[in-house]
Amino acid sequence: MREFIIQLLESSVCPQYTMNIDQLDGYLYAVAAEPQETAPEYWMPLVFGGEIPSFIEGYSIESVTNALIWLYNSHRAQVLSSQCELVFACEYSSIKMARIRPEQWARGFMQGYIFWEDVWNHYLNEGQTNLNLDGILLSSLNDDLDDILAVISAIADAEYASQIGTSAEDLVLMFNRLPEKVVEYGRIAHMIRTNQPVNGQPKKEMYEHVQFTH
C-alpha cells in the first residue's frame, strides 16, 4: 500500500502542489494526533494542494481514498502507542540535500499543526478552564507545545534557523530530538481530546476509524 501511495504522489497526473511521501508522513502524523475527532474529507484536500481531485488518470478515487486512510490509520496507531517511526535518518547536515527528508517531513508536520491550530488555540491559548487535566497547568502545556513547535520549525527550515542564530550544535540536537518531540505532541493532543467535557462529563475515547482495503 505504501508503494502505491508513493507512486501516486510522484505521478505527473496529480495536481501541481501534491505532497511528496515525506511531507505526507509528517502531515498525517500531526493530523492523526487528533486533539478533536475529525473525518478524512477534512484533512485529505491539503494532500493535493487544497482540493481533492475529482479524477486522477490511472487511479480510482476510491483506491486513492482507501490508501490515504490506511496510511492515516498507521500514523494514528503510532500516536496511540507513543511512537514515531521515521523511514529516514533524522540527522542534521550543513548540506541541504543531506537533510532534505527530515526537512520535508517537518514541513508536512507543520501543515498538520496548522490544520489543528484553531483547536490548539481554543484549549491552550484562550484560558479554557473546563478541561480536567489532572492538575496539569494549561500554561505548562502551552509552553511544552511552543517548545515542540520551535524544534520542528527549525528542522523544517534549518537554513533560516541558522541565519537567525541557531548554532550547528543546537540543530544537531533538534534533529535528533524530532521523534521525541513528535511523541510529546501526540501526548498533549491525547490529553486534550480525552478530557473535553460532554454535558459536564469528560469525553470518552473514540478512535474507531473505518479500516479500508486496497
Name the domain count of the chain: 1
pTM for the whole structure: 0.86
Question: Which pLDDT does position 136 carry in this prediction?
Answer: 56
State the residue range of the domain holding 53.
Answer: 2-202
Cα torsion 115, 85, 125, 173: sign: negative
Rounded Cα distance between 56 and 73, Å, is 23
In a domain, 22, yes or no: yes
Question: Which pLDDT does position 198 carry in this prediction?
Answer: 42
In a domain, 61, yes or no: yes
In a domain, 213, yes or no: no
Q: What is the pLDDT along the chain (214 residues), one digit of tens a residue?
A: 999 999 989 988 888 899 999 999 999 999 999 998 889 999 999 999 987 777 677 778 889 899 999 999 999 999 999 999 999 999 999 999 999 999 999 999 999 999 999 999 888 876 555 555 555 556 678 889 999 999 999 999 999 999 999 999 999 999 999 999 999 999 999 888 887 654 444 343 433 333 323 2
- CATH code assigned at 167: 1.20.120
Start-to-end Cα distance in the chain? 7
In a domain, 19, yes or no: yes
Single-letter amino acid code for the residue at 70: W
131: left (phi over 0), alpha (psi -120 to 50) or beta: beta
In a domain, 212, yes or no: no
Cα torsion 190, 113, 65, 179: sign: negative
In a domain, 214, yes or no: no
Q: Give the distance, in angstroms, between the CA of residue 60 and the centroid of all CA atoms in the same chain.
A: 26
In a domain, 210, yes or no: no
Question: Which pLDDT does position 13 carry in this prediction?
Answer: 83
Question: Which pLDDT does position 214 carry in this prediction?
Answer: 29
In a domain, 110, yes or no: yes
